[in-house]
Amino acid sequence: MLLEIENVLSAEALTRFHEVLARAPWADGRATAGYQSALAKNNHQLPEDCEASRMLGGEILDALNSNLIFQSAALPARIFPPLFNRYGPGQAFAAHVDNAMRLSAQTQERIRTDLSATLFLSEPDTYDGGELVIDGNFGAQSVKLKAGDMILYPSTSLHGVNAVTRGARVAAVFWVQSLVRDDACRDMLFDLDMSIQRLRADVEDAHPSLITLTGVYHNLVRRWGAP
């Protein structure tokens, strides 16, 4: 599933992010790429353990913790601390598949990448190009979101970033190891959870079918979930 999640960061948070990022120590993005993706990647990135990465990454993790749509869709067991990247004119990231495992320099944790996420930090009218293109079951999807909005997609997907031709595209990217590894199972749980939430708004909380459906949801998470 390709899922857009709006307003992960507020306008006030974005202003603060841009102030910090303007004076952050940007470096060649190939530092964190695997062998194959180093050939495909041309961008700038913040070192994982610099102060700006830690501070802003921490703010994003806090925002994700309280984002009910993200929690329901990703069912996160572990989250790789966000990386910050910037593409200027002529910079791009050709089609690639993300590494299956990533070792966090911050936490020394090894994380299996089940889901990839891009949180857009630049307003789309401030740059041309820079679309995230994701190959999925329904063909290639081109994604360019408002600043503060995020796209979540399976890490098994072939994806890349089109060349920027004007301005700068700044984004945060991170990966999720999910409690539910299988995409199809996770997608069904998300549909079930969202349907239960909508029903809860329409019928009284104690409706016996709502209680049963909620039980089914949790029993499926127990059945399909693993750390």
Give the dihedral of Cα atoms 135, 118, 27, 30; nearest 10 deg. -30
Could you say which DSSP state residue 146 is in?
A: -
One-letter amino acid for residue 220 of the chain? L
CB of 96 to Ni ion, least distance (A): 6
Q: Whose Cβ is closer to Ni ion: residue 45's or residue 72's? A: 45
For Ni ion, the nearest residue by Cβ is: 98
Count of residues that bind Ni ion according to CB under 5 A? 1
- 170 — alpha (psi -120 to 50), left (phi > 0) or beta? beta
CB of 210 to Ni ion, least distance (A): 40
- Report the 3 state secondary structure along 129-165: ECCEEEEECCEEEEECCCCCCEEEEECCCCEEECCEE
Could you say which DSSP state residue 162 is in?
A: P
CB 31 within 8 A of CB 170: no
CB of 84 to Ni ion, least distance (A): 14
- The H or E element that residue 177 is part of is strand 169-178
CB of 37 to Ni ion, least distance (A): 7
Q: Whose Cβ is closer to Ni ion: residue 98's or residue 114's? A: 98
Q: Whose Cβ is closer to Ni ion: residue 5's or residue 132's? A: 132
Q: Whose Cβ is closer to Ni ion: residue 150's or residue 189's? A: 150
Distance from C-alpha of 128 to C-alpha of 162, rounded to nearest angstrom: 10
Q: Whose Cβ is closer to Ni ion: residue 98's or residue 131's? A: 98
CB of 55 to Ni ion, least distance (A): 23
- CA triplet 87, 89, 95: central angle to 5 degrees? 55
Binders of Ni ion among residues 173 to 192 (CB under 5 A) are none
Per the structure block, which two tokens stand in for 159?
């994806």
One-letter amino acid for residue 218 of the chain? H
Binding mask 79-108 for Ni ion (x = CB under 5 A): -------------------x----------
CB of 41 to Ni ion, least distance (A): 8
Q: Whose Cβ is closer to Ni ion: residue 115's or residue 147's? A: 115
131 near Ni ion, judged by CB under 5 A: no
Q: Which positions lie near Ni ion, rule CB under 5 A?
A: 98
